[in-house]
Structure 1
Amino acid sequence: MFVPAAGEWRPPAECSLLLPAVSVGNVGQLAVDLIISTLDMPKVGYFYTDCLVPMVGNNPYATSEEHAKELCINAEIYASSDKKLAVLQIRSPLIKKKSRAFCEALTSWIKKCAFTRVVLLSSSHAYQRDDTQLFGTPFRYLVTPTLQTMVADTMKELEWKEMEKLSLYPGINDEEKKTSIPGGGFTKRLFEDCCSMGIHMAAVLKFCSEGDNIPDAFALLDHVNRWLHLLDLPDDVGTAHWKIPSSWRLLFGSGLPSALF
C-alpha cells in the first residue's frame, strides 16, 4: 500500500517505474541507489507492507549533517517529474513465504498507478549458468508479451540478449524448458504475475557472484541507461557519471578500531 510522505502524490502521465529485486550481490538495489543519488530524486512516499523484514536507518542520500538525521525504512518511493520516472527502493529481504503476497500487492499498486512501463533490475548466480550462457554478454532481459511488441526493435538495435529457457531434464528431454533465475529473488514470480496481468514490464539482470558488487551495479546501470536514457553520456565515453551516495562509505563497515593495534 502506498503511503504519501507529504500531501498527495500521483505519478505523471507516461511515467515509468523502476525497482530492484533483492537478489545475489544486491546489484539491483545498488544500481537504484545510484539513480536516486545522481538524479537527486525527492522522496514522495512509502510502500507499506508486512512482507518485508522491518528496518529503519538514517537518510542514505544525505548531503549535509541536517539531512543525515532523516530516517528511511525498508521500502520507499522517489520520483522525478522531469524524467517521468518513479523509483521504488527496497532495502530489506522478503519474509519467508511472503513472496506471493508481496508480488500481488506490488502488481495491484502498479495497475492502480497505470505506469507506462515497469523495469526490474536484478541479478543471477554466475556459477549456475548453463553452458550456452558462459559466452558473450553477462546481461540478460525478459519482457512481458504486452511490452514485447513495443520494444522488440529497440532490443534488436541494442543487441540485447533475451534470457534463455533451460531444459527441465538436461540430456534426457530437451523439449521441456523453463525460465530459471537462480539467486534472482522474486524476479521470476513478479515477471510471471506481470505477464498474466498484462503489465508492460521488463526485467534486466546481470550474472554475478557475491563480493564487492559495486562494479556490477555500475555495469548494470550503464547497460540499462542505453535503453532508458536516464543520464546523457559524455562525448566519446561509454559510461555515465553516476553519483555515489554518502551511505556507501560504510558499505563494508566502518573498518577496524585503532584500539586493536
Structure 2
Amino acid sequence: MFVPVVGEWSPPGDCALLLPAVSVGNVGQLAIDLIISSLDMPKVGYFYTDCLVPMVGNNPYATNEEHAKELCINAEVYASSDQKLAVLQIRSPLIKKKSRAFSQALTCWIKKCAFTRVVLLSSSHAYQRDDSQLFGTPFRYLVTPALQTLVADAMKTLEWKEMEKMSLYPGMNDDERKISIPGGGFTKRLFEDCCSEGIHMAVVLKFCSEGDNIPDAFSLLDHVNRWLHLLDLPEDVGTTRWKIPSSWRLLFGSGLPSALF
C-alpha cells in the first residue's frame, strides 16, 4: 500500500516506474540509488508492506547535516514530474514465503497508478549461466507481451539480447524450456505476474558475482540509459556523470581502526 509523505500524490500522465529486485550483488538497488541521487528526486511516499524485513536508517541521499537527520525505511517512492518518472527503492529482502503476496501487492499498485511502463533492474549469478550465455554481452532483457510490440524496434536498434529459456532436463529433453534467473530474487515472479495482468513491464539484468558490485551498477545503469535516456551521457564520458550518494562512503564499512596496528 502506498502512503504519501504529505497530502496526496499521484503519478503524472505518461509516468514510468523504475524499481530494483533484491538480487545478487544488490546491483539493481545500487543503480536505483544512482538514479535518485543524479536526478535529485524528492521522496513522495513509501510503500507500506509486511512482506519486507523491517529496517530504518538515516537519509542515504543527504547533502547536508540537516538532511542527514531524516529517516528512511525499507521501501520508499521518489518521483520527478519533469522526467515523468517514479522510482521505488527497496532496501531490505523479502520475508520468506511472502514473495507471492509482495508481488501481488506491487502489481495491484502498479495497475492503480497506471504507469505507462515498468522497468525492473536486476541481476543473476554469473556462475550459473548456460553455455550459450558465456559469450558476448553480460546483459539480458525480458518484456511482457503487452509491451513487446511497443519496444520491439527499440530493442532491435539497441541490439539487446533477450534472456534465453533454459532446458528443464539438459541432455534428456531440450524441448521443455523455461525462464530461469538464479540469484534474481523476486524478478521471475513479478515478471510472470505482470505478464498475466497485462502490464507493460521490462526486466533488464546483468550477470555478475558477489563482491564490489559498484562497477556492475554503473554499467547496468549506462545500459538502461541507452534506452530510457534518463541522463544525457555522451559515449566518451562513460559513468562519470552519475552522482554517487553520500551513503556510499560507508558501503564497505568505516575501515579498520588504527588501534589494531
Aligned-partner SS, 1:92: coil
Q: Which AA in structure 2 matches 1:28?
A: G
The aligned runs of 1:42-121 (5 Å cut-off) are 42-121=42-121
CA distance in 1, matches of 2:67, 2:239: 29
Against the structure 1 CA distance between its residues 163 and 148, is the aligned structure 2 distance closer, same or farther, given a 3 Å change threshold?
Answer: same
Show the counterpart of 1:194: 194
Aligned-partner SS, 1:166: strand
Show the counterpart of 1:137: 137
Aligned-partner SS, 1:6: coil
The aligned runs of 1:1-261 (5 Å cut-off) are 1-234=1-234, 236-239=236-239, 241-261=241-261
Against the structure 1 CA distance between its residues 218 and 145, is the aligned structure 2 distance closer, same or farther, given a 3 Å change threshold?
Answer: same
C-alpha displacement at 1:234, in angstroms?
3.0
Structure 1 unaligned blocks of 5 or more: none
Against the structure 1 CA distance between its residues 247 and 37, is the aligned structure 2 distance closer, same or farther, given a 3 Å change threshold?
Answer: same
C-alpha displacement at 1:239, in angstroms?
4.2
Q: Which AA in structure 2 matches 1:51?
A: C
Contact 1:107–1:194 (CA under 8 A) maintained in structure 2: yes
Aligned-partner SS, 1:78: strand
C-alpha displacement at 1:7, in angstroms?
1.2
Q: Deviations over 1:170-228 (max 9, x none)?
A: 11101000000000000000000000000000000000000000000000000000000
C-alpha displacement at 1:236, in angstroms?
3.8
CA distance in 2, matches of 1:54, 1:259: 34
Against the structure 1 CA distance between its residues 188 and 257, is the aligned structure 2 distance closer, same or farther, given a 3 Å change threshold?
Answer: same
Structure 2 unaligned blocks of 5 or more: none
Q: Deviations over 1:113-160 (max 9, x none)?
A: 000000000000000000000000000000000000000000000000
C-alpha displacement at 1:259, in angstroms?
1.9
Q: Deviations over 1:52-97 (max 9, x none)?
A: 0000000000000010000000000000000000000000000000
Q: Which AA in structure 2 matches 1:254?
A: S
CA distance in 2, matches of 1:119, 1:32: 11
CA distance in 2, matches of 1:19, 1:82: 18
TM-score, structure 2 as length reference:
0.99
CA distance in 1, matches of 2:199, 2:249: 37
Q: Which AA in structure 2 matches 1:34?
A: L
C-alpha displacement at 1:257, in angstroms?
1.4
C-alpha displacement at 1:235, in angstroms?
6.4
CA distance in 1, matches of 2:259, 2:235: 48
Aligned-partner SS, 2:188: helix
Aligned-partner SS, 1:76: strand
CA distance in 2, matches of 1:240, 1:253: 23
Cα RMSD for the two superposed structures: 0.8
Contact 1:61–1:245 (CA under 8 A) maintained in structure 2: yes
Contact 1:76–1:89 (CA under 8 A) maintained in structure 2: yes
Contact 1:232–1:240 (CA under 8 A) maintained in structure 2: no
